[in-house]
Amino acid sequence: MKFIADLHIHSKYSRATAKNLDLENLYLWAQYKGIHVVGTGDFVHPKWFKELEEKLEPAEEGLFKLKEKLAQPIDAKIPQSCKGQVRFLLTVEISNIYKRHEKVRKVHNLIYASSLKAAQKIQAKLGSIGNISSDGRPILGLDSYDLLKIMLEADAKNLFVPAHIWTPWFSALGSMGGFDSMEDAFGDLTKHIFAVETGLSSDPPMNWRLKQLDDFILISNSDAHSPAKLGREANIFDTEFSYDGIYKALSDKNDKGLVSTLEFFPEEGKYHYDGHRNCQVRWHPKETIKNKGICSGCGKPVTVGVMARVEALADRNESSKSQRWRPYQNIVPLPEMIAEAKNMGTASKAVQEAYMSILSQLGNEFYILLDCPLDDIKRAAGDVLAEGISRMRQGKVQIAAGYDGEFGTIKIFESGEREHIEKQLALF
């Protein structure tokens, strides 16, 4: 069965997340977006775990669904066009902060639990060594290696996925807080890792340039801190609709269950370029090299972004492909597309209303972004948006790259172009 999965999100119990990030809203927004399997996030947090136990019930093997009586009132709100099956898979992200070789490492890691029992074991173990109650993404002074060990001891069928592996400050390969190789970080246990998350600031081709990543399959998730950010990136599977199906697709090198990934334009990610946000210095890695890495604003070293970091560790040229490569499609979230078409802010009321209207006419967001005939979009939302989505599908967008924690900005239309498109069409 073909399905879309977003396997890195957070709950309301994580820091800096939306208060309505609960199971009901995940269920609702997964359908708006067109996601069939969504991570629970934060399963180690005692309160969230309790909610999972209370509100979910087992569905397909290793997957869970919202209890019927909770789902019903939400179903009534969802446009017929968007209705779909939503399952939850137990996920958590741990912030491992520890010293290795006299350097402070900050590595974020994802764990997917094969069952409630396995999740409980991990929770008990981590609870015995650290504080798991103040943050849904707990900070532990525990080596990533030890976390992986704990996870494997809880159940060999759990999955370990180093999160957004290029993020400068908090990732396995990050320029500031990470290692130069997965082996350095995970040693002899590296072979128990099957997948890595590329993060918003890198796309698959960037990752293909590293031989050391050949054994891993690349996955993409939203890392959403609010329900509306679900599916910023996601994975398309075509396999058995179960934990086992997903496990096999990630772990078995011959399995073709993971079909493709949906990706941010990497330039739009927060750490694509180098620079200093506070000094408003945004540099292409070449400029960084020219300036010897020193910020022209404050004189301190700039935050080295993902592009430069990949370049530094790459050992293959730009046209290389990794052994486990999959096709991918760059996407821009639909609200951003609408905002660009209307030349208004993403958060504006008009954009929000248009979003809901388009969804109820055409279907879920992924359908609109990926598959919906352009003519249908024209009829439902006008020519400019249809043209925008067409350009997005072809990768014809301009982006001012993100840097040092600042998202990049997307530009699809030149000034005056929108009017031009409308006028042109009026002639026909």
Partner 1 sequence: MDKPTDLNESQWKAVNHEGSHLLITAGPGTGKTHTLTRRIAHVIPSLKSNENILAITFTNKAARQMKERLTSLGVRQSLLFIGTFHGFCLKLLRDYFEHTALPKDFKVVTPQEITGFDKDILDRISHMKSTQLVISPDNDFKEYQRYLRKNSWIDFDDILREALLLLEDENIASQLRRQYRYIFVDEYQDTNIVQHAILKILGCEGVLLTAIGDANQSIYGFRGSRVELFHRFKEDFVPAQILTLQENYRSAPSLLAASGQVMGGVQLLAKLSTQGKLVIHQAATDRAEADYVAQQIEKLMGGLDMNTSRRAKHGFGDIACLYRLNTQSHLLSKALEYLGIPYQIAHKAQKLEVYSDENVLGQNEEELEFNVEKVSLMSLHAAKGLEFPVVFIIGCEDHLLPLDLTGMKSSAEEERRLFYVGMTRAKEYLYLTHAKRRQIFGQSLIQAPSPYLADIAEELKAYEALKRNPPKKDPDALQMKLF
List residues binding partner 1 (CB under 8 A): 15-18, 20, 95, 97-99, 104, 106, 129-131, 133-135, 138-143, 146, 150, 167-170, 176-177, 225-229, 270, 301, 303, 346-349, 352, 355, 405
The burial of 135, by beta-carbon neighbours within 10 Å (0-12 exposed, 13-18 middle, 19 or more buried), is given as middle
Q: Which is nearer to partner 1, 17 or 190 (CB)?
A: 17
What secondary structure does DSSP assign to 312-370, as a single string? HH--S-TT---TT---EEEE--HHHHHHHHHTS-TTSHHHHHHHHHHHHHH--HHIIII
Amino acid identity of residue 428, one-letter, is F
> Tokens for 134?
């103040």
The beta strands (E) that lie in 43-178 are given as: 56-58, 64-66, 87-89, 91-100, 103-112, 139-140, 159-162
Nearest approach, Cβ of residue 348 and partner 1 (Å) = 8
Q: Which is nearer to partner 1, 7 or 147 (CB)?
A: 147
Nearest approach, Cβ of residue 173 and partner 1 (Å) = 16
Coil/strand/helix, residue 124: helix
Q: Which is nearer to partner 1, 75 or 353 (CB)?
A: 353
Q: Which is nearer to partner 1, 25 or 235 (CB)?
A: 25
Nearest approach, Cβ of residue 305 and partner 1 (Å) = 13
Q: Which is nearer to partner 1, 29 or 216 (CB)?
A: 29
Q: Which is nearer to partner 1, 115 or 201 (CB)?
A: 201
Q: Which is nearer to partner 1, 135 or 244 (CB)?
A: 135
Nearest approach, Cβ of residue 287 and partner 1 (Å) = 21
Nearest approach, Cβ of residue 39 and partner 1 (Å) = 17
**Residue whose tokens read 């879309």:** 4
- Secondary structure letter of residue 281 according to DSSP: E
Rounded to an integer, what distance in angstroms lies between the CA atom of residue 297 and that of residue 305? 17
Contact 52, 23 (CB under 8 A): yes
Nearest approach, Cβ of residue 134 and partner 1 (Å) = 5
Q: Which is nearer to partner 1, 15 or 191 (CB)?
A: 15
Task: List the beta bridge partners of residue 38.
Answer: 6, 88
Reference 408, options 211, 204, 203, 246; nearest CA is 203
> Tokens for 80?
């017929």
Angle between the 383-394 and 374-381 helix axes, to the nearest 10 degrees? 140
Nearest approach, Cβ of residue 126 and partner 1 (Å) = 10
Nearest approach, Cβ of residue 135 and partner 1 (Å) = 4
